Amino acid sequence: MKITKLLGAAALVTLTTNSAFAQNLGVDASASADTGGDADAAGQADTEADQADTEAVSLDELPQEESTTAPLEESPATSTASDSSAAETTEEPVDDGVSDHQKVVNRFAVGYLGRQTLHYGVANTAVAAPIVGVRYWLNPMIGIDGGIGLNFLGGTAKTTDQPDVSAAGHSAVLFHIGVPLSLADKGHFSFQVVPEINLGFAGTGDQNPNDAIEQTSAGSFFNIGAKVGAELHFGFMGIPQLSLQGNIGVYLQTESVSDKTVANGIETKNSVSYTSFGSTLGPDPWDIFTSSVSALYYF
């Protein structure tokens, strides 16, 4: 009986011990499992962080591509402002109330001042003398013109087995003085009256190849009168320094032409004098351009 109780107590103790050991094993296993899971999760997080750092470094080291972003479209307001700006730049210069004529006062101009026609010899041979000169405005009303016209022609005549001789030629010199008066000006126009004087000489050298005979022709020219017209400045093109003049004049003119021959020491001279009064326009249609239109550029 005592043995049976002892065996039962031993069996109970053994069973209790096994149960406690089993419970401890379960707790340890669970703790180990939790610790292992946490360690695995931490390792995985570290690995992902390293990969992210690597990718970041790799992206920083890669060459940056140029931006292909399309330019922003210009707003209608900006486009309208740009168009207005462009339109303003192409508009005519703003009228500041000062005429182009007043802008060239106290400035020198150089240019073509018209043409006069001289004559020489009884045959009344004509030679044109275009006048190139200067103009200077002393004040908005009064100016001064001065110019000179030149025309020279010469050469050599050759004949087989004969010495060379001078060919028939001519020379012409004309002096021009004028006093332009600006009676009214506005904008690009100036209405002017120009009193002027022209004095010229024309003639030839020896026209006879025979050394024993000298034959020459000559002519003198003088006129006084005035032109009436307008000077148009190109201020509407932004260059008020450039101007064209169109005018018509009336002149009192005198001319004297002559032929002279000297042979064997004897001089023979024939001369004719003319006095005329009339306008500057000649019989040819283009005379309005050659005699009545001139051009100047002011510096």
Q: What is the pLDDT of residues 240-261, one digit of tens each?
A: 999 999 888 899 999 999 999 9
Owner of token pair 């009884």? 122
Q: Is the pTM of this model over 0.75?
A: no
**DSSP-derived secondary structure for 276-294:** EEEES--SSTTHHHHTTEE
219 close to 120: Cβ distance less than 8 angstroms: yes
Condensed to tens digits (0 to 9), the pLDDT of residues 116-126 reads 899 999 999 99
Q: Which stretch of DSSP H or E encloses residue 28? A: helix 2-61
3-state secondary structure of 71: coil
Condensed to tens digits (0 to 9), the pLDDT of residues 129-161 reads 999 999 999 999 999 999 999 999 988 877 787
CA 169/CA 158 separation, integer angstroms: 15
Tell me how far the alpha carbon of residue 7 is from its chain's centroid: 131
